[in-house]
């Protein structure tokens, strides 16, 4: 059956558990030099309208390590929605490849690609969600705590696409998440309702508050992201005036549990949302997150493109 990963809501909590278990197995095998070439002979089209380091390299290397191939298609080669419609691009790539990963601005482009594709479509980032990042994030938390149940996560800053996917992942796994966000930058109502529904199902919780110091109380994990994402450049001045109280720094860290893990999906703007001292400090897990993109996405590729 054809399946896509446009949002974490496309899989069940039980499937999320299974995918993460596979990701951890794949990582352990990789560390031992054990190959898993289950996608030999298969090709992933990587369609980008938005710049990337981690998404491109992790998917390309992931396909290679699974025995397959990845093809990079940059913004100027397609000009999605201008030179060709998303539907026509999807129909064409479906005839050439076994899967499509797209990193785009508008979530509607991902939806349109999936609507017309006859191969799996994976959301490598859209303005609404970043499911692959969330998979790597909760994988990183699991490596530290073994499980998400009973773990307190604080997300500080703008409740953006990364926050939405993280909230879904944490509540799907029975974890507790508090979003410390300025008024006007909270999680959209539909996303909050979805997360609350997952929390009721799994025993987790989701709360939104404005005070960052209160948000990190009892936190085992503190997560932050950029204040100005790609596509929000016109809002840069106002955002940089709103978010300084939400910087994750040594002072904020003192309010969390001892040795709380600090996370950031990268790229980070050192000295804005995250101080350099904390980013490079002993509690930082940002490089573990970046590494886990590779292995979490391999689990996605195996489940959607065959061999698993």
pLDDT at 127: 95
For residues 64 and 37, is the Cβ–Cβ distance under 8 A? no
- Could you tell me the pLDDT band of residue 1, with boundaries at 50, 70 and 90? confident
- The string of pLDDT tens digits covering residues 38-73 is 999 999 999 999 989 999 999 999 999 999 999 999
- Residue 259, SS3? coil
Q: Mind listing the domains of the chain with CATH numbers?
A: 8-130+293-305 (3.40.50.1370), 133-289 (3.40.50.1370)
Q: Compute CA 220 distance to the chain's CA centroid, rounded to the nearest angstrom.
A: 19
Is residue 81 over pLDDT 80?
A: no
Question: Mean of the per-residue pLDDT values for the chain?
Answer: 96
- The string of pLDDT tens digits covering residues 126-166 is 999 999 999 999 999 999 999 999 999 999 999 999 999 99
pLDDT at 308: 45
- The string of pLDDT tens digits covering residues 211-258 is 999 999 999 999 999 998 877 788 899 999 999 999 999 999 999 999
> Catalytic residue numbers?
103, 130, 133, 225, 265, 293
Alpha helices in the chain (DSSP H): 13-31, 54-65, 75-78, 86-96, 107-116, 131-145, 161-172, 189-202, 212-215, 236-242, 250-253, 276-279, 286-305
- Could you tell me the pLDDT band of residue 83, with boundaries at 50, 70 and 90? confident
69 pairs with which residues across the strands? 43
The Cα 277–Cα 282 span in angstroms is: 9
- The string of pLDDT tens digits covering residues 173-193 is 999 999 999 999 999 999 999
């Amino acid at each position: 059956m054809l399946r896509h990963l446009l949002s974490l809501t496309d899989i069940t909590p039980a499937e999320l558990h299974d995918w993460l278990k596979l990701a951890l197995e794949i990582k352990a095998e990789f560390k031992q030099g054990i190959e898993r070439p289950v996608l030999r002979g298969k090709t992933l089209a990587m369609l980008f309208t938005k710049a990337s380091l981690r998404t491109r390299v992790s998917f390309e290397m992931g396909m290679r390590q699974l025995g397959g191939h990845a093809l990079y298609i940059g913004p100027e080669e397609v000009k999605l929605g201008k030179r060709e419609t998303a539907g026509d691009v999807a129909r064409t790539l479906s005839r050439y490849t076994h899967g499509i990963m797209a990193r785009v601005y508008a979530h509607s482009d991902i939806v349109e690609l999936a609507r017309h594709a006859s191969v799996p479509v994976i959301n490598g980032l859209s303005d609404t969600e970043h499911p692959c990042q969330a998979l790597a994030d909760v994988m990183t938390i699991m490596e530290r705590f073994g499980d998400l149940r009973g773990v307190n996560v604080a997300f500080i800053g703008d409740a953006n696409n990364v926050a939405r996917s993280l909230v879904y992942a944490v509540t799907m796994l029975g974890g507790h998440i508090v979003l410390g966000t300025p008024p006007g930058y909270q999680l959209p109502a539909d996303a909050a309702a979805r997360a609350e529904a997952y929390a009721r199902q799994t025993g987790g919780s989701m709360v939104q508050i404005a005070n960052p110091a209160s948000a990190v109380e009892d936190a085992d994990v503190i997560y932050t992201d950029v204040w100005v994402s790609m596509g929000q450049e016109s809002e840069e001045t106002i955002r940089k005036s709103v978010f300084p109280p939400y910087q994750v720094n040594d002072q904020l860290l003192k309010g969390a549990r001892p040795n709380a893990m600090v996370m950031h999906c990268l790229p980070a703007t050192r000295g804005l949302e995250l101080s350099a001292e904390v980013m490079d400090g002993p509690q930082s897990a940002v490089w573990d997150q970046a590494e886990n993109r590779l292995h979490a996405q391999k689990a996605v590729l195996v489940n959607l493109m065959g061999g698993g």
